[in-house]
Structure 1
Amino acid sequence: MPLPSIATPKTVLASVIVALGLLGAMAWGAVTVLDYDDTIERAERDSRQAAALLDGHAQAVLEGGSAALVPIVNRIEQAGLARWAESGLDDALAAPGPNSLSILDASGRVVFGPAVTFDGDGFGGLSEGTETSRRRTTLVSAGLAGDERVILLVRRLYRADGSLDGAVLAGVPVAALTPVLNAFGDGLQRSAGLFRPDGTRLSGFGAEALGHLPPLAPGGEAVETDWRIGDAPPAQAGASILGLKRMRDLPVVSAVSVPRATVLAPWNMRLQRGLAVAMTGFLALLGLSWVGLTSLRREAAVRRDLTDSKARLEQRVEERTADLRAVNHKLIRALEEKERANQAKGRFLSAANHDLRQPFQALRLFHHLLMERLKEPRDRSIAEKMGEALDAGEKLLHALLEVATLDAGVVRPEIANVPVAAVLNDVAGEFQTAAAEKGLRLRVMPCALSVRTDRAMLTRMLRDLVRNAVAFTPSGRVTLGCRRHGQWLRIEVWDTGSGIPSEQLDNIFEDFVQLGNPERDRRQGLGLGLAKVRRKAALLGHAVEVRSRFGIGSVFAVSAPVVIPERAPEPAIPEEGGEAPADAERLILVVEDDPVQRSGMLLLLESWGHRVMEAADGEAAVALVRDAEEKPDLIVTDFRLPGRLTGVQVVTRVGELLEQAVPGIILTGDTAPERIREAVATGCRLLHKPFTPDRLRGALAAVIAERSGARAVHRQTAA
């Protein structure tokens, strides 16, 4: 079986042109047919509405005359026309009525009023139903009342034996209807008139008679879309669109007609224009096809040139790709080496941070005990030097801890309305002495605004910025001030120091980056101050910016949202009475696997007047509490313990064993973010090693105070 041939571009182009031509012809034909139907339908609607409006106006004119005939006919029939004539018709008909009123006898002779001339067959030719139905029917005809053209409204008079006695006629001047008829017809493009049901015209424009009209009930309406008068062929009488409406109480039909030729004239014009547009489009399509064929020939030539160029380009791309692949491999290896170095550095810092805290903590506890026991000034001086060395080491560890805590996401800012002036004055007061020793002028610009922030964290951020400004400004001044920008307040720290090179402005916020301190002199800081400022600003949603001109000075700014200062709440007055003071004797369970630290902790707590229970691991601590007669008031435990239980689990197990929550203080030297989050989630207080005895005493006092407050609330609730 032969394979089907592939269509050439010329074949495709020809097919597209034919398809477009067919689609265009079909679309144009469909639109033309729809336009024709819409034109006829709109003409039918207009004719029906015009007939209804004509009927309404004519009915208001004619029904007044018809209603005036009724009482006159009734009065004459009561005594008979002859007796009414003898008694004097002028006096009897003096009551208000139609302008043209005539009375005829049975032979059609006028016995009262102006002479009347009927069109057509005259008085005897009036017909509307049977003779019985005529007794109470107003008949309609056209004619003359005197010299005036009128529409005659006729009511027949009958004797007591049912024979015809005469008729009463009311002539309505055609002139009264002329303005209405002129509004609905002009006699040329549209005809309007009033007709009898047999098609005879009473008034209006157009044909004298419409022929046999379709039967209409009183108040009925109809539309004839192809109406021709009588049986005349189309060559003699053109078709019209005829709207009909019959009056409810009179045998009168309102008719409005429009020749179909007049209705379709705009459509014929649109048809001719559409044909012209279609022909123009077809010619344009042929022109485009010729242009397309020409373009195909040119495209074939260009395609051959492109094929040759593509081959040459692909060869060059392959050569360059091979070079880039080699460079990428080198970059990937370099990035992998950097990532391994970062991971190794992180593991080293975490392990070193944890392992260094253990001996530092033991040294701090024993140094505190040693200072309390030494009396000789020389011995105390040596111990104080040892304390300074411990302080330097702990400062580094605490800086690492603060960075790790911020990275762990466990810090929860306490957002409030903070007056900026108070924060600036506090920070400036802290560094006034250091600035004065260097001969610097430390100035605070007044600021009466407040910002929405965490006061403690904002104070630490500004403290780090001012510390750097004082440290790296050899002479001149350091200025603290504010600038408002819309809803934000820029808290700025200006200095006249040596400035920062522009290429280093982004690097100074990285960890352990110090410009101008390649020897890493710890007296010039650790290189973590600006890194902590950046982390705290991100946590608070504030922006940190820096501008600097090398050799002139720098400006560091923290942007915080401005708020209206709120009135500070009045301090609560503590209630008298309550639990025992925080430094009262307590029974404390100490869980620590390091015997040196456990020994130092026992000595320290006992020196504060507390009683101590000790255990080396979690299982031993739980067993000790289970067997002891007296239960511990709180637990001080290391986070990492040998065995299956951690310090957090020990606090939980002891609480379950005693069937009540036991407050706990978790001691840890681990600064990993996940460890910090796990410890904070327990609700226990967290102390990072190394810590000072004063911090431990403050934590004990806070835990005891919280427990005492909880018991007081419980007693009030129970009461």
Structure 2
Amino acid sequence: MLVAVLCALLALLGTASWAAVTALDYRDTLERAGEDARQAASLFDSHAHGVLEASIALLDQLAGRMDGRGLKSWAERTLPEAMAVERNGNVSLLGVDGTVQYGPPVAFAEPETSDGLSLLVRPLPPEEERRILPAFGHMAGQPAILLARRIHSTAGVFDGAVLVAVPVAALAPVLKAFDDGAARSIGLYRPDGVHLAGHGAMSLGPLPRLEPSAIRVDANRMVDGRASILATKRMDALPILSAVTIPRTTVLAPWYVRMERGLVVVIAGVAALAGLSLLGAASLRREALAREALTDANARLEQANVQLEQRVDERTAALSALNVKLSRALEEKERANQAKGRFLSAANHDLRQPFQALRLFHHILMERLAGTRDHAIAEKMGEALDAGEKLLHALLEVATLDAGVVRPQLADVPLSVVFEDLLAEFRGMALEKGLVLRVMPTRMVIRSDRMLLSRMLGDLVRNAIRFTDRGRVTIGCRHHGQRQGRWLRIEVWDTGAGIPAEQLDNIFEDFVQLGNPERDRRQGLGLGLAKVRRKAALLGHAVEVRSLQGHGSVFAISVPVVGSERPPSPVPVQETAPVATGDRLILVVEDDPVQRDAVRLLLESWDYRVIVAAEGESALSLFRETRGSAASQEAPLSGIPPSSIAHSFMPNPDLIVSDFRLPGRLTGVQTVAAVCDRLGRPVPGLILTGDTAPERIREAVATGCRLLHKPVSPEELRDSIASILSEWPGCRPADGGEQALASESAA
């Protein structure tokens, strides 16, 4: 009875402990989910506010000037204001009867506000009379968030409203960045719970009244009939709430798994205790029946066996629990790495678009500011652009190597030529630091890719000069000790501070920099040795490093030897005829209007004729128009009315410059192929893209089109166009077409 009572007490204590731990885990799980929802709502609110900020400023500017003066004051807008409206392109004026007085047509998505009057005429408190009113609808047929503000006449009577539309597509990059594949939903809502943009329920019901920038978490909110965790945050300047909802079933699913496993452990423990109690009772009964036959040694042995089994069971359970925790940690780490990769890919692509436009407009600005006092400011802006582009180009090179797109061109390479190129490139850099750059002469010929090998050695020499304060940097080669005659070691020696032994493996990782915790970009990006490692693996060369702190380091690349250098035979130099520009027609396909205008202005400044289109279908419709069909006029020839083109001649482009990602069913590569098929002749293509995903790079390279990654400098763009046009003689329109074009352009 005593053993049974003790086992019962232990079982009760264990069950109570498990229940307490489970209850605490339940509370912590909900608190963590609420905090995650709060952070997601706050972060999404800041990104969404950045997207809406320009439209809010434009609406405040327009309504602030017109309110109190009536809709008739629209005609009195200033030139900067008119340019801002034209650049935005999504501004409409509504009269008191809901009709559009100016701008594209507007349709409200809510049934009770389909005419626009219910939203604009409904009574409001005096403090909200001149606030911005948000709604969801369509402007010019595109889904958009409609931001409206009432306009009053001089007598204070409601006279209409100004609407600025923010396309829902503008929030797509932000929503994509927050889409982690989980069951949570995120979006923008009005205070009455009406859905404006994003994913999730179309209505959340009346939301709590919040002050600007305030945030609130409701841990038990019914959303679409399901209990959910709801986090809402109100924007500073708008009655719009950023809402994040997570079903409680999704949040508590891991907790239920842990609870079930804990319950199994408790039941197993209780069963074990019951078994022990029964075993003890049986042992006592056997001892009573045969006390004289049992010895103290047998009793101690039995007890030791029981303890040993318990220990084995405990160790087995501990190892099983540890394995489960390790598996979960690995899965969480993998998910985090995948989410980080998606975020970096999207951010990298989106950063290239503004860099490209800035680079092209900066080039045009430099030409127009030549000789003025503002030219120095433009030069500083160019230096800032160079710093940003340097990081993007480094990331692009790493992505290209990881994608497997680079194919080494193996050939017999004289090392003397490579060493001469390195000496010419880095002599000035070494002299600026007061270092001696020394190259040991050699006549060996190796088997490698000259360009990739030169870049590898260039990264090693650049690092050696950067981290050497005094002394010299030496470039030389010697036969491999274990592979005499077949392999050669190309070595770069320096007299710098050296590298700690425990860091010799880490320096080849991405973004690793020793002695630069503040990430000063003047000391590099931490990608040089990472690129050396990738290129060496691509070429099948081995990279080694030895270092002694306080004395310097030596980096070595092992390459195969094919022989000794022979005197090169003279090669006749052929003159390349200059490429004419003024008689060349270029088709530009770009959906971003800022990018499209920048490329058009830049090409026209180089005396090219330019024809533009917003996407692939527009480019094809241009050629349908030239055959006399009644297609839309989305892509006119620059400077020539579309109606005149349709009756004059068929545009015969010499080159197609296109973005890779285009709206509609055609990509940039597919647009080039479709135009060639429409014209019945090949037309060279130049693809500009900011996407560095490995699969995207392989897809573009496989088409045969020339590929440039944004941001691309104007000089690189001009050289690429000139190179392509020099290789493709192109087609010219008939004489009559040339004369018609000349007369149309003059008109």
What TM bracket, shorter-length normalisation?
A: 0.5 to 0.7
Distance 1:321 1:381, change over 3 A: same
The aligned residue for residue 336 of structure 1 is 331
**Structure 2 CA distance, aligned partners of 1:307 and 1:684?**
82
For residue 492 of structure 1, give the secondary structure of its aligned residue in structure 2: strand
Deviation at 1:707? 1.5
Deviation at 1:311? 8.3
Aligned partners of 1:625 and 1:632 also within 8 Å: no
For residue 378 of structure 1, give the secondary structure of its aligned residue in structure 2: coil
Distance 1:476 1:626, change over 3 A: same
Alignment of 1:582-621 (within 5 A): 582-583=580-581, 585-621=583-619
Deviation at 1:566? 5.7
The aligned residue for residue 660 of structure 2 is 639
Distance 1:451 1:627, change over 3 A: same
Deviations 1:59-101 (Å, cap 9, x if unpaired)?
xxxxxxxxxxxxxxxxxxxxxxxxxxxxxxxxxxxxxxxxxxx
The aligned residue for residue 719 of structure 2 is 698
Counterpart check, 1:388 vs 2:383: yes
**Structure 2 CA distance, aligned partners of 1:317 and 1:447?**
68
Deviation at 1:594? 0.5
Distance 1:567 1:412, change over 3 A: farther
Q: 1:450 aligns with which of 445, 448, 452?
A: 445
The aligned residue for residue 548 of structure 1 is 547
The aligned residue for residue 473 of structure 2 is 478
Deviation at 1:701? 1.4
Deviation at 1:307? 13
Deviation at 1:383? 0.3
Deviation at 1:710? 12
State the TM-score, normalizing by the size of structure 2: 0.52
Alignment of 1:494-513 (within 5 A): 494-513=493-512
- The number of residue pairs the alignment matches comes to 405
The aligned residue for residue 402 of structure 2 is 407
For residue 451 of structure 1, give the secondary structure of its aligned residue in structure 2: strand
For residue 708 of structure 1, give the secondary structure of its aligned residue in structure 2: coil
Aligned partners of 2:403 and 2:694 also within 8 Å: yes
Which has the larger displacement, 324-333 or 384-393? 324-333
Deviation at 1:373? 0.7
**Structure 2 CA distance, aligned partners of 1:541 and 1:710?**
45
For residue 683 of structure 1, give the secondary structure of its aligned residue in structure 2: coil
Cα RMSD of the aligned pairs, angstroms, is 2.6
Aligned partners of 2:582 and 2:609 also within 8 Å: no
**Structure 2 CA distance, aligned partners of 1:473 and 1:333?**
46
Distance 1:558 1:709, change over 3 A: farther
Deviation at 1:580? 7.4
Distance 1:314 1:461, change over 3 A: farther
Q: 1:688 aligns with which of 682, 685, 709?
A: 709
Deviation at 1:582? 5.0
**Structure 1 CA distance, aligned partners of 2:681 and 2:515?**
57
**Structure 2 CA distance, aligned partners of 1:491 and 1:582?**
45
For residue 665 of structure 1, give the secondary structure of its aligned residue in structure 2: strand
Letter in 2 for 1:669: G
Deviation at 1:325? 2.4
**Structure 2 CA distance, aligned partners of 1:495 and 1:591?**
50
Deviations 1:308-330 (Å, cap 9, x if unpaired)?
99987665443222222233233
Q: 2:360 aligns with which of 341, 362, 365?
A: 365
Letter in 2 for 1:549: L
Aligned partners of 2:654 and 2:731 also within 8 Å: no
**Structure 1 CA distance, aligned partners of 2:513 and 2:347?**
22
Distance 1:314 1:660, change over 3 A: farther
- Looking at CA atoms only, which structure, 1 or 2, has the larger radius of gyration? 1
**Structure 1 CA distance, aligned partners of 2:364 and 2:660?**
24
The aligned residue for residue 345 of structure 2 is 350
**Structure 2 CA distance, aligned partners of 1:427 and 1:613?**
43
**Structure 1 CA distance, aligned partners of 2:441 and 2:573?**
33
The aligned residue for residue 313 of structure 2 is 318
Deviation at 1:421? 1.8
Deviation at 1:561? 0.6
**Structure 2 CA distance, aligned partners of 1:553 and 1:308?**
66
Counterpart check, 1:462 vs 2:460: no
Deviation at 1:341? 2.6
State the TM-score, normalizing by the size of structure 1: 0.54
Deviations 1:389-427 (Å, cap 9, x if unpaired)?
000000000000000111111111121111112212221
Letter in 2 for 1:426: D
Alignment of 1:490-569 (within 5 A): 490-564=489-563, 565=565, 568=568
Deviation at 1:627? 2.4
* Gap regions ≥5 residues in structure 1: 1-305, 712-719
**Structure 2 CA distance, aligned partners of 1:421 and 1:406?**
27
Deviation at 1:676? 0.3
**Structure 2 CA distance, aligned partners of 1:567 and 1:423?**
15
Identity of counterpart residues, as a percentage?
70
Deviation at 1:603? 0.6
* Gap regions ≥5 residues in structure 2: 1-300, 627-649, 733-747
Aligned partners of 1:417 and 1:566 also within 8 Å: no
